[in-house]
Chain A
Amino acid sequence: MTIEWFVILAALLFAVGLAGLTVRRNPVVMLLCLELMLGAGALALLAFSRMTGDQDGQILVLIVLVVAACEVVVGLGLVVAMFRRRIPLDVDEIKELKG
């Protein structure tokens, strides 16, 4: 169970998230795929933190967790705003920057 395995697994999870992000059009699911990619990044950071025996990487992961939570809240706020304004929940529908 070497560090390589964790990094390769992180790359695989990142790729799955990227595939979902490009293929799905529903904003809720696209946010979920973003979560997958952020989680993969966190896993890689933790693997490197374990590799060097330095805990700074874990702090970085904690900050990534905070940023991810913020991204979720703003993204889901946008989804709710779209729903309220009766815009179909499809990212291709948000073409114009007007309220």
Chain B
Amino acid sequence: MLEVLFFLAAIGALGGAVGVVFLKNPFYSVLSLVVHLIFLAVLFLLLEAQFLAAAQIVVYAGAVMVIYVFVAAYVGGIEEPLFDPIPRLRVLGPVLAAAIFIEISIAVLGSSLVALGTEGASDLEAGFGTPASIGLLLLEDFLIAFEVASLLLLVTAVAAIVLAGRKPGEEGVES
């Protein structure tokens, strides 16, 4: 049963990813990424990460994708010459990607991590991956990382306004 769910989610995530790369219209690419992220959240659930699956849906498929859709709509339909300006890149890019995939696969399968062949640790502590235990870890062991993340978000908010905002009296800028 879980295997079936894994393969369904894997096919969905992969299909969404391929859609992002091959759809011509950026708007459809964004929607394809939403599909990908939802299936990715299912895979997170299969790995006992309930909180992260929920965060993935709410933060990503919800908030971040809204920004993407907004920007894609703002800049409008772009006449992109879908793959072409550097003709050889069309061949070299996929070759590079295939090489990376094969390399990672060999590195993983050839590693001496015996636990890779199992379904993971069997003695999971109670509440593994639930909001309660993640929150405890975040506010106790990883408090500094948590604070740095919040500072990073603040800096980003300022950066976005500086980058995209209109400066008063600026010339040559479309209103």
Contacts and interface: CB of A to CB of B under 8 A. Distances in A.
Contacts of A69: 59, 63-64, 153, 156
A89 to B, nearest CB: 5
B39 to A, nearest CB: 10
Contact of A61 (B3, B52, B80, B93): B52
Interface string B81-125: 111010001101110111011001100110001011111110111
Contact of B121 (A7, A50, A56, A86): A50
Contact of A3 (B89, B94, B118): B118
Nearest to B145: A63
A59 interface: yes
Q: How large is the interface on A (under 10, 10 to 19, 20 to 34, 35 or more residues)?
A: 35 or more
Interface in A24-53: 24-26, 28-29, 31-33, 35-36, 39, 42-43, 46-47, 49-53
Given A59-B145, A77-B164, A23 B93 contact: yes
B13 A9 contact: yes
Given A28-B68, A33-B21, A66 B159 contact: no
Given A55-B133, A72-B68, A67 B78 contact: no
Nearest to A39: B40
B173 A84 contact: yes
Q: How large is the interface on B (under 10, 10 to 19, 20 to 34, 35 or more residues)?
A: 35 or more
Contact of A19 (B51, B55, B94, B123): B94
A12 interface: yes
A51 B138 CA distance: 20
B152 A13 contact: no
Nearest to B133: A55
B78 A58 contact: no
A1 to B, nearest CB: 5
A76 interface: yes
Contact of B109 (A4, A21, A80): A4
A81 interface: yes
Nearest to B82: A24
A85 interface: yes
Contacts of B80: 24-26, 29, 89-90
15 contacts: A1-B119, A6-B43, A8-B108, A9-B14, A20-B20, A22-B97, A23-B94, A29-B26, A59-B138, A62-B52, A69-B63, A74-B163, A80-B164, A81-B164, A90-B80
Closest 9 CB pairs of A and B: A53-B121, A22-B93, A77-B163, A20-B21, A19-B97, A15-B101, A11-B104, A70-B156, A80-B164
